[in-house]
């Protein structure tokens, strides 16, 4: 899937934001046949699979509405592929986080919100 300039910038801002919060970035844009995980990171005893959603301020829908149940299932399946091919992370607890990025076009600024443990495996 092609990402536009705002989406790419949002992912870069999210990566820097997570690093400042103590996340160790392991991989970006991991792709499997099920989908893509924007950022995979280690934080304490967790391996975090992070979905980044970027929207302009004033968008009709908030970015969190785009991480629906179908997207969650794709992220879970893709995380499973990552873990099955990277056994050195088997001792870490998986967690699904989201970073919601808002771009203020007028001021050319970004604001970010982190939602840890945004959803879980049932």
CATH of the domain at 12: 3.40.1350.10
In a domain, 63, yes or no: yes
Give percent of the chain with pLDDT exceeding 90.
59
Per the domain annotation, does 90 fall within a domain? yes
Count of domains forming the chain: 1
* Pairing of β 109-119 and β 93-104: antiparallel
In a domain, 106, yes or no: yes
Tokens of 111: 């604001």
Is 121 domain-assigned? no
In a domain, residue 68? The reply is yes
Whether residue 36 is contained in a domain is answered as: yes
Average pLDDT of span 118-122: 76
Q: Is residue 79 part of a domain?
A: yes
Per-residue pLDDT for 2 more than 90? no
Q: In this structure, what token pair is assigned to residue 76?
A: 């879970």
Per-residue pLDDT reduced to its tens digit, 59-103: 555 545 567 788 899 999 999 999 999 989 989 999 999 999 988
pTM: 0.88
**Residue 60 pLDDT:** 53
CA distance linking residue 82 with residue 34, whole number of Å? 11
Whole domain around residue 69: which residue ranges? 5-115
Q: Report H helices in 52-98.
A: 69-85
Pick the residue with more confidence: 70 or 24? 24
User: pLDDT value at position 59?
Assistant: 58
- 120 in a structural domain: no
């Amino acid at each position: 899937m092609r990402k536009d300039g705002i989406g790419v910038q949002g992912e870069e801002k999210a990566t820097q934001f997570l690093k400042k919060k103590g996340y160790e970035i392991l991989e970006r844009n991991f792709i499997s046949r099920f989908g893509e995980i924007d950022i995979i990171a280690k934080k304490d005893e967790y391996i975090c699979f992070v979905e980044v959603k970027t929207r302009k301020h004033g968008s009709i829908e908030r970015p969190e509405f785009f991480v629906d149940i179908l997207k969650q299932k794709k992220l879970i399946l893709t995380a499973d592929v990552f873990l099955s091919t990277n056994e050195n992370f088997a001792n870490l607890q998986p967690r699904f986080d989201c970073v919601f990025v808002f771009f203020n076009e007028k001021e050319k600024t970004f604001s970010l919100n982190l939602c840890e443990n945004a959803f879980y495996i049932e």
